[in-house]
Chains A and B, each alone.
Chain A
Amino acid sequence: MNLSFTADQETFRKQVRSWIKTNLPKKDTGAQPLESGDPKRVREMKDWQRKLHQAGYVAMGWPKEYGGRAADVVEQTIVNEELVLARAPGLIGMMGILMVGPTLIQHGTVEQKHRHLPKILTAEEIWCQGYSEPGSGSDLASLKTRAELVGDEFIVNGQKVWTSNAQYADWMFCLVRTDPTAPKHKGISYLLVDMKSPGITVRPLVQMTGDAGFNEVFFDNVRVPRRNLVGELNLGWLVANSTLAHERNMLGSTTRTQQMFNGLLRLAQTRQRYGRPAADDLVMRQRLADLMIRVEAMKYHAFRQLTDSIRGRPPGIGASVNKLVSTELNHDIAAAALEIMGSYGTLARKSNHVVDRGTWPIEFMFTLGLVIGGGTSQIQKNIISERGLGMPR
């Protein structure tokens, strides 16, 4: 155990801090949420990621030939911590950076890597995930979107659903059925689909937050070149599983949770309840302390998983524990914020007297979505008990 940083790492932290101070985009209070797909907002968010990448702070652990720095995880941790401290906006290209990127590094062809990885980092191309279908949620492997190999092309027909970012994404990584006669896990392939291909229709779905954050995506004889197949034909489930572990870690990101908790604490210290700050109330203090403990436990837990990954130890069911615990923790933090705000807590974004621009009730709803997406809490518990504890199916 050694949690101290070397002199070089401390110097690096200072550089990062001063870079963020100079380059952090100004808060635009009138901005549309990203989910609205407002082109101006999308452009701003792409600019922010590109700047961060140019500074060398995005996907630092990736190999140099694909635009990374082959840096150790400590440096990426320092960058992430400083971004949290500065309350910096998240990255628009997260799906690419954390999900399809690592999958391509692991399973992609040389051509696929060179074609896609650099543009993932610069946010020139944004990715979305084509997994869930109307009939295939928790039972993902039952998916029916059909891809038929004809010559050098797949002809894709079917429908995806709950597809976040599809309204402005350039590419989709997608699971399709290529062998309908094989057992369900053995007839699936992993394709990269250009969202500008003829035959694709994106229809927004309005979430309970009021934003069209996700979509239905329809495929009508969409042609996908065979070179866009990742891994082997009909073995896409294996490829997808490596991506799912990345997704669970993304959804279970502790930096986001810390940021939310810091916001909650500020709220509790500034909002008055019955003539005193909410944080002075003994019951609320218990709740805040409990949340703080759970947040910090996940922070150190992430350090431990990081160290394990450096030492090449298998993650086991760690990603599922992260996803399960962190998404529920995020929702609990937002719920505490609403309670602190009392009647103001449920005021909508455009209302008079709204607190913190109405972000808390949105977070309260949005974080419940994260409990479901990427495999519900119940699915994570199945994985933990069956794969982790070896309990019978």
Chain B
Amino acid sequence: MDFALSDDQELLQRSARDFLNKECAPSFVREVTRSDDGFARGLHEKMAAMGWSGLIVPERFGGLDLSLLDLALLNEEMGRTVTPGPFFSSAVLATLTLLRSNAAALQKAWLPKLASGSAIGSLALLEESDRLDAIGVTLRCTKNRRGYRLNGTKMFVLDAHVADFMLVAGRCRAAAQDGIVLLLVPRDTPGIEIKPLLDIDQTRRPCEVAFRDVELPEAALAAGEGRAWKVLSRVMDAAAIILAADSLGGAQKALEMSVEYSKVREQFGRPIGSFQAVKHICAEMVSDIEPARSLVWYAAYAFDHEPRQAARAASMAKARLSDVYSRTTNRAVQIHGGIGFTWEHDMHLWFKRAKWNEVAFGDATHHRERLAQLSAF
């Protein structure tokens, strides 16, 4: 019984913080978000060189074989620095989907490239309906002698415009969960059209991806009928936990910025941080964030070690952090007053990321209802 980070984990946290403070300052984030594709290749390569892209990839595929908690700690630091780029879609979503898929040939072909950062992957799950359940997957998948044919449109596919491949959820049969398959689709496959969407959170780059008679060989199958939804459910839990960690880091940073500002900003002849109205808001941020941190650690731990609690823990962490991050950044903007509402001040970077994180992979309402079902209320 030991509820704390290991020395190695604390070291990972510290070194990630030092690295990102240096390499991913707000001015850099702004520069990347102004670029067309929002992808800082140099930063991506440096992170890959430190082993981050392959953090949870087994050693035989060139990874570090660490746990989801380690990955969560890393993402917490990326949340602190609102790090842009495809790390989440590639090193989290695509990597976890491939890892859970059991498709040996695809793993062998792609995992080493994902781990080394030489390839970018993504996951194409949502569609126009924006449903996170199995019914939401309607992209038509027909099986023929040569393999599979895809027709339909995926929505909110993160970083599809820079990805080398996507893992695509398609429907072969009507059966809600069992009729779904997961296929690995290289981006340059004929029949694919990618249109980037514009989000208020410019650190995230979602795309609309249309599939018109996209032909795929049998070897493209990552997870077949009856199994694909199980893989996806597990990946969605991990995604929820990782986003919760990103939110935790962002909320902590927004708190720190608010406290710093309140110590130097003077009104009525004294620092605004000396007023209880401001102090109490900051104290409430602390009492939101600290218990939430324990919840995130537990969820990440449970994902690897307590499989029967994993889904519940993921929903608890995501529901709580969705609320806490948005509430914290909202308050942080208010503490900053007029300047906090400007484009010039950095606070809106966190404010917008909070809103994106809140909704992605299920908002608080979604996860509370899921928790109720899983807990048999």
Q: Which residues of A contact B (CB under 8 A)?
A: 1-5, 9, 74, 77, 265, 268-269, 279, 282, 285-286, 288-290, 292-294, 296-298, 300-301, 303-304, 306-308, 311, 317-318, 321, 324-325, 378, 380-382, 384-386, 388-393
Contact = CB atoms under 8 A, between A and B. Distances in A.
A321 B1 contact: no
Contact of A77 (B1, B279, B282, B377): B1
A1 B6 contact: yes
B274 A393 contact: yes
A306 B274 contact: no
30 contacts: A1-B3, A1-B4, A1-B305, A2-B2, A5-B1, A9-B1, A282-B369, A285-B368, A285-B369, A286-B372, A289-B368, A289-B369, A289-B377, A290-B368, A293-B368, A307-B1, A307-B2, A321-B290, A380-B283, A381-B279, A382-B276, A382-B279, A382-B283, A385-B282, A389-B259, A389-B282, A390-B259, A391-B274, A392-B263, A392-B274
Interface in B280-320: 280, 282-284, 286-287, 290-295, 297-298, 301, 305-306, 316, 319-320
A304 B298 CA distance: 10
Interface string B247-283: 0000000000001001100000011011010111011
A72 B369 CA distance: 38
Contact of B377 (A74, A269, A303): A269
Contacts of B283: 324, 380-382, 384-385, 388-389
Given A3-B3, A301-B291, A381 B280 contact: yes
B365 interface: yes
Nearest to B370: A289
Given A285-B369, A288-B377, A297-B316, A2 B279 contact: no
A6 B287 CA distance: 32
Contacts of A282: 369
Q: Which 9 A-B pairs have the closest CB atoms?
A: A289-B368, A381-B283, A385-B279, A303-B3, A384-B283, A300-B294, A297-B291, A301-B294, A392-B274
A288 B270 CA distance: 43
B5 interface: yes
A161 B293 CA distance: 38
A286 B371 CA distance: 9
Contacts of A289: 319, 368-369, 371-372, 375, 377
A293 B377 contact: no
Nearest to B367: A289
A296 B287 CA distance: 14
Chain A CB count within 10 A is highest, among B5, B69, B294, B375, for: B294
Contact of A3 (B1, B274, B280, B290): B1
A9 to B, nearest CB: 7
Given A378-B280, A388-B286, A293 B320 contact: yes
Contacts of B319: 289-290, 293
A306 B282 CA distance: 25
A288 B369 CA distance: 10
Interface of B: 1-6, 69, 259, 262-263, 270-271, 273-274, 276, 278-280, 282-284, 286-287, 290-295, 297-298, 301, 305-306, 316, 319-320, 365, 368-369, 371-372, 375, 377
A265 B270 CA distance: 48
A110 B126 CA distance: 69
A265 B377 contact: yes
Contacts of A389: 259, 279, 282-283, 286
A9 B274 CA distance: 49
A268 B377 contact: yes
B291 A321 contact: yes
A324 B297 contact: no
Nearest to B4: A307
B301 A1 contact: yes
A74 B375 CA distance: 26
Given A74-B1, A308-B4, A389-B282, A285 B377 contact: yes
Contacts of A286: 365, 368-369, 372
Contacts of A311: 4
A385 B258 CA distance: 12
Given A300-B3, A381-B284, A392-B274, A285 B372 contact: yes
A390 B273 CA distance: 9
B291 A325 contact: yes
Contacts of B365: 286
A325 B283 CA distance: 11
A298 B291 contact: yes
A74 to B, nearest CB: 5
Nearest to B290: A321
Nearest to B374: A289
B7 to A, nearest CB: 11
Nearest to B279: A385
Contacts of B286: 317, 321, 384-385, 388-389
Contacts of A308: 4
Given A288-B372, A290-B319, A293-B316, A300 B295 contact: yes
A3 B4 CA distance: 10
Contacts of A386: 279
Contacts of B305: 1, 3-4
A321 B278 CA distance: 17
Contacts of B290: 301, 318, 321
B371 A293 contact: yes
A304 B295 contact: no
Contacts of B293: 304
A387 to B, nearest CB: 10
Most A C-beta atoms less than 10 A away, residue of B263, B273, B377: B377
Given A74-B1, A286-B368, 7 more contacts: A285-B377, A289-B372, A297-B292, A300-B3, A304-B3, A321-B286, A325-B287
Contacts of A384: 282-283, 286-287
